[in-house]
């Protein structure tokens, strides 16, 4: 969506361009009915700067930007995730956080690399075991992934300790699917582990930032949409949600390919919990 692109590239723009971008973000609904001159006047810049900004953010022309704006804002997907500020009341900042998550999911949908997903599922499908590695904030995501993948019937383990990860990596082979989860894709330990997997001949799937060292080392790299993250806060929030959803997609894809055989197993797993619950 363009509003995202604008918000994101805001600090890479020149002074005048930023003014225009801000004017658009301020009242996107109005911009849709403006001329270049009107917008230029609102942003207190010259007309051609408007045309230029359109090009900079990847639109063919100003009318083209308006069209994209209009389609972007339509329906429910108008959650512009502005940053939480200290003056916000509970309802406001809660809405902003929820909006940011929805935004990220919309972004995931529009840019999902279907081919990468299919390749990853193919690797998982023929794997005799799955090893999942995640450290720091990704450790809990890795644990969640383990909790989902083992239900497929393929033996799945998860390590958050770099030493264990290295040892597991070293003993991987063509029967092993290694799933590395990392926000930045730049953690030194993890890069080394990925290299060990490569040397050992394991099949490496990475869910991480695009163009990161780990993405390059992987057989299949799936983008975690880390570029969408609000860097004014210090903990990745939306990236986490996006990765969990990617894991949902992978496990579902795997289950679909396995067909009805998995159904019974899932049911058995579910009913194994029956006696731990009180009745409704």
Partner DNA sequence: CAGTAATTTTTAACTTAGTTACAAAAAAGA
Partner DNA sequence: TCTTTTTTGTAACTAAGTTAAAAATTACTG
* Contacts to a second copy from residues 89-128, by CB under 8 A: 90-91, 93-95, 97-99, 101-102, 105-106, 108-109, 112, 114, 117-118, 121
Q: Which of 21, 130, 6, 155 is nearest to 72 (CA)?
A: 6
141 contacts a second copy (rule: CB under 8 A): yes
Strands (E), 22-155: 129-134
Nearer to DNA, 65 or 217 (CB): 65
* Binding segment (CB under 8 A) for a second copy, from list 2-10, 20-28, 65-73, 123-131: 65-73
Nearer to a second copy, 136 or 155 (CB): 136
Q: Given CA atoms 55, 105, 234, 83 in this order, what sign does their dihedral have?
A: positive
- Report what 278 binds from a second copy, DNA, none; CB cut-off 5-8 Å by kind: a second copy
Nearer to a second copy, 102 or 200 (CB): 102
Q: Work out how close the CB of 139 gets to a second copy at its nearest, in angstroms, rounded to a whole number.
A: 7
- Report what 189 binds from a second copy, DNA, none; CB cut-off 5-8 Å by kind: a second copy
Nearer to DNA, 55 or 216 (CB): 55
- Report what 48 binds from a second copy, DNA, none; CB cut-off 5-8 Å by kind: DNA
176 contacts a second copy (rule: CB under 8 A): no
Contact 105, 245 (CB under 8 A): yes
Q: CA 221, CA 211: separation in Å to the nearest integer?
A: 9
Q: CA 105, CA 191: separation in Å to the nearest integer?
A: 27
213 contacts a second copy (rule: CB under 8 A): yes
Q: Work out how close the CB of 11 gets to DNA at its nearest, in angstroms, rounded to a whole number.
A: 12
86 contacts a second copy (rule: CB under 8 A): yes
Nearer to a second copy, 22 or 150 (CB): 150
- Report what 253 binds from DNA, a second copy, none; CB cut-off 5-8 Å by kind: a second copy
* Full DSSP string of 248-259: HHHHHHHHHHHT
Q: Which residues bind DNA (CB under 7 A)?
A: 14-17, 35-37, 45-52, 54-55, 60-64
* Full DSSP string of 207-218: EE-TTSHHHHHS
- The single residue among 9, 25, 154, 253 that binds a second copy, judged by CB under 8 A, is 253
Contact 228, 199 (CB under 8 A): no
Q: CA 39, CA 34: separation in Å to the nearest integer?
A: 6
Contact 16, 45 (CB under 8 A): yes
Three-state SS at 59: coil
What length is written for the chain?
280
- Based on the number of CB atoms within 10 Å of its own CB, is 76 exposed (0-12), middle (13-18) or buried (19 or more)? exposed
* Binding segment (CB under 8 A) for a second copy, from list 48-56, 74-82, 124-132, 166-174: 74-82
């Amino acid at each position: 969506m363009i509003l995202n692109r604008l918000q994101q590239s805001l600090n890479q723009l020149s002074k005048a361009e930023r003014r225009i971008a801000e004017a658009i973000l301020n009242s996107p609904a109005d911009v849709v009915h403006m001329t270049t001159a009107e917008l230029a006047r609102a942003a207190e810049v010259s007309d051609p700067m408007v045309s230029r900004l359109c090009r900079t953010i990847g639109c063919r022309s100003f009318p083209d930007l308006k069209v994209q704006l209009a389609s972007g804002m339509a329906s429910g997907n108008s959650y512009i995730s502005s940053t939480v500020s200290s003056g916000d009341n509970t309802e406001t900042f809660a809405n902003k956080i929820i909006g940011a998550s929805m935004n990220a999911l919309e972004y995931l949908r529009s840019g999902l690399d279907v081919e990468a997903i299919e390749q990853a599922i193919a690797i998982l499908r023929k794997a005799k075991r799955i090893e999942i590695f995640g450290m720091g904030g990704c450790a809990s995501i890795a644990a969640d992934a383990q909790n989902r993948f083992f239900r497929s019937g393929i033996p799945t383990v998860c390590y958050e300790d770099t030493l264990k990860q290295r040892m597991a990596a070293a003993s991987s082979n063509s029967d092993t699917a290694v799933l590395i989860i990392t926000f930045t894709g730049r953690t030194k330990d993890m890069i080394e582990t990925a290299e060990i997997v490569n040397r050992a001949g394991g099949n490496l799937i990475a869910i991480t930032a695009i163009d990161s060292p780990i993405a390059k080392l992987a057989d299949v790299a799936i983008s975690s949409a880390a570029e969408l993250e609000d860097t004014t806060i210090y903990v990745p929030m939306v990236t986490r949600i996006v990765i969990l959803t990617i894991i949902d997609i992978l496990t579902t894809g795997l289950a679909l390919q396995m067909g009805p055989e998995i159904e019974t197993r899932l049911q058995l797993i579910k009913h194994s919990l029956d006696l731990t619950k009180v009745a409704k």
